[in-house]
Amino acid sequence: MLRKLFAALAPLVLGLALTTPAQAADQTLRIGYQKYGVFTLLKARGTLEKKLESQGWKVTWTEFPGGPQLLEALNVGAVDFGLTGEAPPVFAQAAGAQLVYVAFEPPAPSAEAILVPKDSAIKSVKDLKGKKVALNKGSNVHYLLVRALEEAGLKPADIQTVYLPPADARAAFAKGAVDAWVIWDPYLAAAEAQLPVRTLRDGKGLVNNYQFILAARKFITAQPAIAKTLLAELQATDQWANANNAEAAKELAGQIGLPLDVVNATLPRNTMGLQPITPQVAGQQQKIADTFHDLGLIPVAVKVQDALIK
């Protein structure tokens, strides 16, 4: 698997000799992460720091509430690598971000959903017409909402969209300020465990909900050796987590501050296993980009191909 993954980086790795130990001394790899996933586990385990120390590199970690915020930081040069869902890189690319798709995690369609209060009169997505629906703009769940509305014969203009980051959206949802909330794990699992909620529609049959490893083009071009080390550690972390579910859950719970039973509920919905970007996956991303452009949610047409490693 790693051989295939690194093959995707071959054009960059050819320039490896240009990055000497002296040039790399006292450098810092800046990683953006969210409250879940392989980066959170990698941070907890500390193996990346040990591997990069011998190359004269340090690692800093910055937590973000969602993918759009993370990629905004990547766009302005505040982080070098990050992990987000499907929609954030499309919005970021439309805004001119010089990002590169590096790899992806397997689909997790049931790890995001549209929630309503348990006693809500809303019984189907069609019932959302005219209702207030909260979500993080440009996040993976943005595409879920678009597809769910389409399936129900509705358009985004048929609902009142309220753009809020996860913590604010949860607060608004809990006090009844919005009628529905579109959210992903682990916030989804936490809401299911802690609030009186009902799942109106999850992503099964609608979306893939891939998670993408993304990098700043400038960084990955200049530092392919560091990128290779990071990818190797991510893959090793995925393999460890798949073989040690109980221990991985405890690590995640400690890192993200959620009860162990909540984290355990997310594991069956989120399979780990880093894979190189394929033409099929790139094509699915292009479909998302085209959908957002057709709806006027992004101002320009995006060519996903421009953000792939060539």
- Taking only the tens of pLDDT, the chain with its 310 residues reads 444 455 554 443 333 333 434 344 459 999 999 988 899 999 999 999 999 998 899 999 999 999 999 999 999 999 999 999 999 999 999 999 999 999 999 999 999 999 999 999 999 999 999 999 999 999 999 999 999 999 999 999 999 999 999 999 999 999 999 999 999 999 999 999 999 999 999 999 999 999 999 999 999 999 999 999 999 999 999 999 999 989 999 999 999 899 999 999 999 999 889 999 999 999 999 999 999 999 999 999 999 999 998 7
- CATH class (in words) of the domain with range 109-202: alpha beta
pLDDT of residue 93: 96
- 115: phi then psi, degrees, rounded to nearest 5: -105, 150
Query: In the numeric block, which tokens belong to residue 18?
Result: 């240009």
8 Å CB contact between 16 and 225: yes
Handedness of CA 96, 213, 90, 14 (dihedral sign): positive
Cα–Cα nearest to 86, from 278, 232, 287, 297:
287
The Cβ of residue 135 has, within 10 Å, a number of other Cβ atoms equal to 27
Q: Residue written as tokens 């989120």?
A: 270
pLDDT of residue 25: 45
- The helix/strand/coil state of 55 is coil
Distance of CA 170 to the CA centre of its chain: 19
Q: Residue written as tokens 């980086």?
A: 9
Q: Which fold has domain 2-107+210-307?
A: D-Maltodextrin-Binding Protein; domain 2 (3.40.190)
Distances (CA, A) of 15 to 18, 49, 53, 213, 224: 6, 23, 21, 21, 8
**What end-to-end distance do the CA atoms of the chain give, in Å?**
19
Give ranges for CATH 3.40.190.10 in the chain: 2-107+210-307, 109-202
- Residue 91 region, left (φ>0) first, then alpha (ψ -120 to 50), else beta? alpha
pLDDT of residue 17: 34
Question: What is the number of alpha carbons within 13 Å of residue 227 lying toward its C-beta?
Answer: 33
Sequential DSSP letters for 123-172: -SGGGGTT-EEEE-TTSHHHHHHHHHHHHTT--GGGSEEEE--HHHHHHH
d(CA 231, CA 104) in angstroms, rounded, equals 11
Sequential DSSP letters for 222-275: H-HHHHHHHHHHHHHHHHHHHH-HHHHHHHHHHHHT--HHHHHHHGGG-----E
Residues paired with residue 230 on neighbouring β-strands, in sequence order: none
